[in-house]
Amino acid sequence: MRGHLIVDVPLIAAAVSLAPVYGLAPLAWITLAATGIHTWGVVNPRSSLYMPVWWRLPKGSDGVALTFDDGPHPERTPAVLDLLAKHGQKATFFLIGENVRRHPALVRRIVDEGHAVGLHSDTHSWWFNCWPPPKLRRDLERCAASISDATGRAAPTLFRPPVGLKNPMVGFVTGRLGLRTVTWSCRALDTGSATVEQVTTRLANGLKPRAILGMHDGAEPDKPRPGTLCVDALARLLPILRERGLTSRALCATQRGIDVG
């Protein structure tokens, strides 16, 4: 609720005190400003206004973190794992609970090969950000239990919000569950009509020490997305990673935030 207290309370107080003197114009401007700040807090992957987020690796880290969302996927996830193994890199996969229940063996393979897994909600609903806390909690706990069942290990403590949206209710629940919310410093935008050259260039531009790169190996459970854009871009990106002397490692939660293992 921290963000609401910081943004809304002073703005409402200002609007109430100015309205009798200046009419409704200040109220309109203050409402517009509040809407803009609120939107920034919800949408911007680097904003910790409504909940703490980690969008790059901590100071002192010279590595990077490749991350993959929406999996596991029966074709693309194995192809991504093969490429990572070939180049000796580790990554983090933010998984959808429904996809985990469909492909548990793939989740086991991800962790057996030394990569990290995190929660990306149970069904990747576009309404996730609008749900009340009890429903959010049930969703995340179901996703965590499915991953834990598949791996035989403790439930993950890393979380990436569906569509990257954040708000005080999501922050309240993730705080209660002890989750670390990880966004990104560079997003591949690899789910639309971009070409492999465009996606690779975007990722290469964001490839610098402490970067967290966001890609998609999977797809939402009810929206299969054909194609190998993520895999093809990764195949081009991994040699660039090596040329720049960078190493990708799996993310892990720490007492104070995140790091790479």
If the CB atoms of residues 70 and 139 are measured against Zn ion, the closer one turns out to be 70
Binding range to Zn ion, per CB under 5 A, among 69-77, 131-139, 142-150, 229-237: 69-77
Q: Which of 101, 97, 94 is nearest to 122 (CA)?
A: 97
DSSP one-letter code for 128: G
Instruction: Give SS3 for 259.
Output: strand
Closest to 84 (Cα-Cα) out of 94, 95, 76: 76
Distances (CA, A) of 94 to 107, 129, 217: 11, 17, 10
Q: Which is nearer to Zn ion, 30 or 110 (CB)?
A: 110
Which residue in the list 38, 69, 103, 139 is annotated as catalytic? 69
Contacting Zn ion (CB under 5 A), which of 69, 139, 217, 232?
69
Number of residues that bind Zn ion (CB under 5 A): 2
**122 near Zn ion, rule: CB under 5 A:** no
Q: Tell me: does residue 70 bind Zn ion (CB under 5 A).
A: yes
Q: Measured at CB, which residue is nearest to Zn ion?
A: 69
Site for Zn ion in 144-173 (CB under 5 A): none
For Zn ion, the closer of residues 70 and 122 by Cβ is 70
CB 170, CB 161: distance < 8 Å: yes
- Chain centroid to CA 232: how far? 21
Q: What span, in angstroms and rounded, lies between the C-alpha atoms of 127 and 163? A: 10
Q: How far, in Å, CA of 176 to CA of 221, rounded? A: 27
50, 36, 39: which is closest to 4 by C-alpha?
A: 50
Structure tokens at 81: 């794992």
Q: How far is the CB of 120 from Zn ion (least distance, A)?
A: 6
> In the complex with Zn ion, which residue's Cβ is closer, 70 or 190?
70
Least distance between Zn ion and beta carbon 164 (Å): 8
Q: Is 216 a catalytic residue?
A: yes
The answer to whether residues 107 and 117 touch, using CB atoms and an 8 Å cutoff, is yes
Instruction: Using the rule CB under 5 A, give the single segment among 61-69, 101-109, 182-190, 232-240 that binds Zn ion.
Output: 61-69
Question: Is residue 190 near Zn ion by the rule CB under 5 A?
Answer: no
Chain residues in the site for Zn ion (CB under 5 A): 69-70
Residues marked as catalytic? 69, 216
